């Protein structure tokens, strides 16, 4: 058990963030939970905790970031705040990158945090950065499963902006001695997330709607349980503290996947089984087939990461929803 730390969590009201806050509090740390929400619903069960402080603010606001770091000394930062770009189906082309909320939050917001930490007068905290599978061109992968050495090739603002945030991490590591780790996540599921194919399937199966569930069998993905994502972040912090010397940038990047490549149709059948839904699963091929799975070998060997199987994680998820 590490000594109690003062820890900032951005994106604290998110799917992974609120679970991480809970785990940090359970481990005895002091947690500053940053969210843009006026009433962060996912943090409500933790609000009475004596070691939790809630901060409302936007990391795209440079002055807010400066004030936050000048007024508070943080031993560690988990940077999980992220904004998504959702394309306009009627648009003929992508918008200018700098016009998207994804760019302003994911890249410029990350820069604001780094610069605020540098100017705080307290020294740089240990930094654990969340990233995503979107840094890859999912439909044109060279190898499978995807290892950390696979070339990044984002094709839309979400992937490009989080890759820029990763590069900012590496830059401050080289130029200012930032002690950091970058964790790339695949699709993450769990209570608190309403979007995504897993949440959609579970809602349908629990609704009592007898309509068949359509699921493509020619698309696979890597589905990670949110509790495992939070565990990986904690393992990364412990690893950074145990390795305080300078580490090559390549050694600080981890793919945090389940290790299972599962078709969307397989996931649908598992959800039907676990919920007891009496419905048909119709495999209707997607127009474009696609495969994806992270190679989590480095995370297993270096961090000691041991994710749940899809069946284990999905069982916990469904049981929580069913009460």
For residue range 28-65, list pLDDT tens digits in order.
999 999 999 888 999 999 988 899 999 999 999 999 99
Which CATH number covers residue 39?
3.40.50.720
- The verdict on residue 282 lying in a domain is no
- The verdict on residue 17 lying in a domain is yes
- The verdict on residue 313 lying in a domain is no
- The verdict on residue 279 lying in a domain is no
Buried/exposed 163-178: b ≥16 CB within 10 Å, e otherwise:
bbbbebbbebbeeeeb
Q: Are 180 and 78 within 8 A, CB to CB? A: no
What are 239-281's pLDDT values in tens digits? 999 986 667 777 899 999 999 999 999 999 999 999 999 999 9
- The verdict on residue 75 lying in a domain is yes
- What is the per-residue pLDDT for 99? 85
- The verdict on residue 31 lying in a domain is yes
Percent of the chain with pLDDT over 70: 98
Separation between Cα atoms, residue 184 and residue 159, nearest integer Å: 11
The mean-pLDDT minimum among 54-68, 152-166, 238-252, 308-322 falls in 238-252
Separation between Cα atoms, residue 190 and residue 187, nearest integer Å: 10
Arithmetic mean of pLDDT, 138-159: 95
Arithmetic mean of pLDDT, 190-205: 94
In terms of C-beta density within 10 A (0-12 exposed, 13-18 middle, 19 or more buried), how is residue 238 classed?
middle
Separation between Cα atoms, residue 234 and residue 280, nearest integer Å: 40
- The verdict on residue 109 lying in a domain is yes
What's the pTM?
A: 0.95
The count of domains in the chain is: 1
- The verdict on residue 201 lying in a domain is no
243 lies in which domain range? Answer: 6-191+223-259+292-307
């Amino acid at each position: 058990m590490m000594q109690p730390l003062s820890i900032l969590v951005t994106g604290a009201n998110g799917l992974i963030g609120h679970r991480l806050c809970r785990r940090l509090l359970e481990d005895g740390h002091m947690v500053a939970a940053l969210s843009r929400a006026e009433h962060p619903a996912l943090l409500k069960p933790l609000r009475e905790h004596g070691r939790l402080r809630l901060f409302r603010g936007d990391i795209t606001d440079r002055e807010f970031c400066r004030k936050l770091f000048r007024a508070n000394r943080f031993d560690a930062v988990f940077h999980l705040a992220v904004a998504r770009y959702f394309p306009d189906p009627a648009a003929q082309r992508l918008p200018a990158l700098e016009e998207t909320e994804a760019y302003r939050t994911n890249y410029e917001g990350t820069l604001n945090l780094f610069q605020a930490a540098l100017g705080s007068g307290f020294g740089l905290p240990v930094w654990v950065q969340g990233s995503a599978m979107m840094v890859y061109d999912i439909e044109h992968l060279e190898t499978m499963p995807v290892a950390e050495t696979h070339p990044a090739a984002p094709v839309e603002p979400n992937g490009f902006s989080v890759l820029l945030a990763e590069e900012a991490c590496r830059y401050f590591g080289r130029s200012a001695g930032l002690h950091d780790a970058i964790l790339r996540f695949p699709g993450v599921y769990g209570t608190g997330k309403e979007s995504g194919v897993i949440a959609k399937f579970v809602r349908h199966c629990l609704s009592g709607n007898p309509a068949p569930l359509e699921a493509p069998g020619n698309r696979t993905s890597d589905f990670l349980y949110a509790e495992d994502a939070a565990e990986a972040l904690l393992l990364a912090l412990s690893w950074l503290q145990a390795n305080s010397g300078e580490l090559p940038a390549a050694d600080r990047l981890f793919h945090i996947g389940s290790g299972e490549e599962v078709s969307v149709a397989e996931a649908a059948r598992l959800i039907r089984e676990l919920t007891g839904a009496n419905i048909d699963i119709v495999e209707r091929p997607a127009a474009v087939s696609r495969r994806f799975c992270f190679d989590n070998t480095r995370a297993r060997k270096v961090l000691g990461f041991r994710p749940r199987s899809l069946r284990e994680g999905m069982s916990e998820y469904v049981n929580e929803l069913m009460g």
